[in-house]
Amino acid sequence: MGVTARKEREKLELRNQILEVATELFLKEGFDKTSIRNIAEKIEYSPATIYLYFKDKNEIFRAIHDKGFDIFFGKLSESQKIENPYMRLRRMGDLYLEFAFEHREFYDLMFVMRAPVEARNEEGNIDWLCGMRSFKLLQATITECMEKGYMKKMDLDVATVTISSLMHGMASLYIRERLVMYDQNILPYLFRDAMDNIMQAFKASPMTSSFTEN
């Protein structure tokens, strides 16, 4: 009989409800002000119940963290319709910052907060998959740029770390309010120029492009 199937469905439903409410509260109030009791009240269950579906608070935020990476990947993927890998890479930069500005809390959870990392370390699992998808997309685009002669050839890891560090640096300095000495309205323009600069730096110099090499 399908009774166990139904129970499993119900169990998943409640789990998802917890996640939904937790996400809502988190995006509205932030991590610290989202308490287990808060979530419990909203789903009309006792606080203890939540611990039947999640090991601890960190695990809840680990799950939200994963959701954030889904949205992030979706956003980055918007660039994939662009044929030219160099233009595509540049577009990915814009989309990255768009995501950070539009979903600050998500961004913070995904790239700054300690909570989801702590949860991962306890699980002992290697499911980096969430973030890895986006990471691989970046790597693939960079590789394509180099292969097709749009970018000068260099170590893939160096290029990847350079680009993602610059992107994360801008996003996180902004989100964590370490750029208050600047007019907040011009920051997007500064960031744009910074991206242009680094793209320029990686651009293949005419003499070493694939057209002359291959």
Partner DNA sequence: AAATTTATTGAACAATGTTCATAAAAATCA
Partner DNA sequence: TGATTTTTATGAACATTGTTCAATAAATTT
When the beta carbons of 82 and 175 are compared against its own copies, the nearer one is 175
The partner in contact with residue 37, picked from its own copies, DNA, none with C-beta cut-offs of 5 to 8 angstroms by kind, is DNA
Residue with tokens 């691989």: 136
Least Å distance, CB 22 to DNA, is 10
Q: Which of residues 123-142 bind DNA (CB under 7 A)?
A: none
Listing DSSP states for 63-126 in one string gives HHHHHHHHHHHHHHHGGGG-SSHHHHHHHHHHHHHHHHHHTHHHHHHHHT-SHHHHHHHHHT--
Nearer to DNA, 31 or 135 (CB): 31
The least CB distance from residue 28 to DNA, in Å, is 14
Q: Is 214 exposed, middle or buried (0-12, 13-18, 19+ CB in 10 A)?
A: exposed
9 near DNA, rule: CB under 7 A:
no
Q: Return the structure tokens found at 58.
A: 């960190």
Comparing CB distances to its own copies, the nearer of 39 and 110 is: 110
Q: Which does 166 bind (CB under 5 to 8 A by kind): its own copies, DNA, none?
A: its own copies
**From the CB of 211, what's the least distance to its own copies, in Å?**
21
Q: By the 8 A CB rule, do 61 and 113 touch?
A: yes
Hey, which residues between 27 and 56 contact DNA (CB under 7 A)?
A: 33-38, 45-49, 51-52, 56
Burial 131-153 (b: 16+ CB within 10 A, else e): beebeebbbebbebbbeebbbbe
Binding pattern for the stretch 79-118 against its own copies, x by CB under 8 A and - elsewhere: --------------------------------xxxx--x-
CB of 6 to its own copies, least distance (A): 40
Alpha carbon separation from 67 to 55, 60, 143, 190 (Å, rounded): 18, 11, 27, 30
- Could you tell me how many residues of this chain bind its own copies (CB under 8 A)? 40
Other beta carbons less than 10 A from residue 34's beta carbon: 21
Among 168, 188, 209, 210, binds its own copies (CB under 8 A): 168
Q: With binding defined as CB under 8 A, does residue 162 bind its own copies?
A: yes
Nearest to 70 by CA among 129, 139, 140, 27: 129
Residue 58 site contact among DNA, its own copies, none (CB < 5 to 8 Å, cut-off depends on kind): DNA
